[in-house]
Amino acid sequence: MLPALSRTRYAALQEFLADSGEPSYRLKQILRAVYRRGITEPARMTELPVRLRERLTAEFGPSLLGLTPIATQQGDQVEKVLFESRQGARIETVYSRYSTGWTSLCVSTQVGCGLGCTFCATGAVGLVRNLAADEICDQVLHFAHRQGGVDSVSFMGMGEALANPHTFTALDLLQHKDFHAMSSRRITVSTVGFAPGLQRLVDDHPQVNVTLSVHSPYDDERAEMIPLQRRYPLARCLEILDGHVTATRRKAYLAYLLIDNHNDSEDHARALAHLVGKLARPELFCVNLIAYNPAAGVTPEFRRPKPAQIRRFLAVLAAAGVRTTKRQQFGDSLEAACGQLHARYLTVSGAPTPTHDGGQRTSLDITKR
């Protein structure tokens, strides 16, 4: 078995082919059809015998993909797709095209999210379940063979990527030469501070880009915005990242969501600069400023700061010698920008219960917009 096949549909495919007495090269033929030619329907895999195509269709269904696109919204530079799993769970994926010709895909890793960050619509949904590695990668497959393809992938969609153990299998698949064959440097994983997963990420995938959400330099205020702060403090996450950049000399990114009259003062900027300045390799950290996007189900008084306030915040960081950028943002009219994804789940009720994949399932009251 190929190392990346563990706990994916391809493990089931490999077992099925072996039990059917098929030669071992059949799996390679299927992988080439899916990942090099973009063919996911067994019936269209003409390199396979007709009898095998028929048996694969009967066993695995008309498509090998576990997600079906059920709605699409288009903007000038953004496309947002609502996917539904075979079990009826829904997630959103955002495809962006930049003026330079570069394309980027923002993938989801969980159906909802259980961390309850006060600025994020996904957190208002609550955790439904973890996505399987196949379901994470199927979002990439959907876009990979269309015009423009996918130049980079960011794990910044619905859910806390590092709280889902299947994220690491998905990273293996994205980089494996027989699957997506993506460079690790074209992959970014974002976290609000799930420290055990962050440590595993920098240990197992040291060349993958990492973004840590900070959003406040003050522990108590950050805990109000990101409740996970009480379990895994920012200081612990920064320590992990500082060790990582020191060992690899790779840059790390600190995301900072600017909210009007909340965390956008010059005192906040100075305190943030002080945090960065205390690190062993501050020059390898870049603060990425993000203007708040109004989102469903979040703290109602949150507002986007005025452009002048954003410029003042940036100027304080720059004067302190902190590398800083302002994130290019588009897609907010489609509810496709940072913090806005909710996959049309509006209300969630009930207590989480375990699922077969080790995630959490929550009973849902679902209404579509």
Asked if 251 contacts 286 with a C-beta cutoff of 8 angstroms, the reply is yes
What pairing do the DSSP bridges indicate for beta strands 252-258 and 152-155? unpaired
Q: How confident is the model at residue 367 (pLDDT cuts 50, 70, 90)?
A: very low
Asked if 30 contacts 53 with a C-beta cutoff of 8 angstroms, the reply is no
Does residue 14 share a domain with residue 138?
no
Mean pLDDT of 128-157: 93
Catalytic residues: 92, 338
Asked if 190 contacts 213 with a C-beta cutoff of 8 angstroms, the reply is yes
pLDDT tens figures, 218-242: 999 999 999 999 999 999 999 999 9
Does residue 158 share a domain with residue 18?
no
Which parts of the chain fold into alpha helices (H)?
A: 9-19, 25-36, 50-60, 121-125, 133-144, 166-175, 195-204, 219-225, 234-248, 266-277, 307-319
Looking at the chain, the number of H-run helices and the number of E-run strands are: 11, 16
Query: 64-73, 109-118, 272-281, 345-354: which has the minimum mean pLDDT?
Result: 345-354
pLDDT of residue 346: 42
| φ and ψ of 321, to 5 deg | 85, 15
- The amino acid occupying position 86 is R
CATH number of the domain to which 40 belongs: 1.10.150.530
Q: Residue 362: pLDDT above 90?
A: no
pLDDT of residue 77: 84
pLDDT of residue 212: 98
Query: 130-134, 172-176, 323-327: which has the minimum mean pLDDT?
Result: 323-327
Mean pLDDT of 189-209: 98
First to last CA, the chain: 44
What is the spatial distance between Cα 192 and Cα 180, in angstroms, rounded to a whole number? 27
pLDDT tens figures, 50-80: 999 999 999 999 999 999 999 988 878 889 8
CATH number of the domain to which 313 belongs: 3.20.20.70
Nearest to 272 by CA among 227, 326, 316, 211: 316
Does residue 106 share a domain with residue 19?
no
Does residue 154 share a domain with residue 29?
no
Give me the domain span that covers residue 10. Answer: 3-60
Domain end, chosen from 60, 83, 106, is at 60
Residues 6+ apart with CB under 8 A from 123: 113, 114, 115, 116, 117, 297, 298
Does residue 135 share a domain with residue 36?
no
Query: 13-17, 49-53, 93-97, 343-347: which has the minimum mean pLDDT?
Result: 343-347
Q: Is the pTM of this model over 0.95?
A: no
Q: How confident is the model at residue 343 (pLDDT cuts 50, 70, 90)?
A: very low
Does residue 191 share a domain with residue 279?
yes
The Cα angle at residue 257 between residues 348 and 193, in degrees rounded to 5: 70
pLDDT tens figures, 78-89: 898 999 999 898
Q: What is the mean pLDDT of the chain?
A: 87
- Domain count along the chain: 2
Beta bridge partners of 189: 155, 210
Distance of alpha carbon 264 from its chain centroid, rounded?
26
Does residue 240 share a domain with residue 180?
yes
**Cβ count within 10 A of residue 102:** 11
Q: Residue 128: pLDDT above 50?
A: yes
pLDDT of residue 151: 96
Q: How confident is the model at residue 148 (pLDDT cuts 50, 70, 90)?
A: confident
Domain end, chosen from 11, 44, 60, is at 60
Does residue 286 share a domain with residue 142?
yes
Nearest to 8 by CA among 183, 203, 172: 172
pLDDT of residue 368: 30
Does residue 128 share a domain with residue 14?
no
Residues 6+ apart with CB under 8 A from 55: 20
pLDDT of residue 1: 52
- The amino acid occupying position 26 is R
Does residue 340 share a domain with residue 227?
yes
What is the spatial distance between Cα 94 and Cα 273, in angstroms, rounded to a whole number? 31
Domain end, chosen from 60, 79, 107, is at 60
Mean pLDDT of 28-54: 97
- The amino acid occupying position 208 is V
Does residue 84 share a domain with residue 48?
no
Does residue 301 share a domain with residue 154?
yes
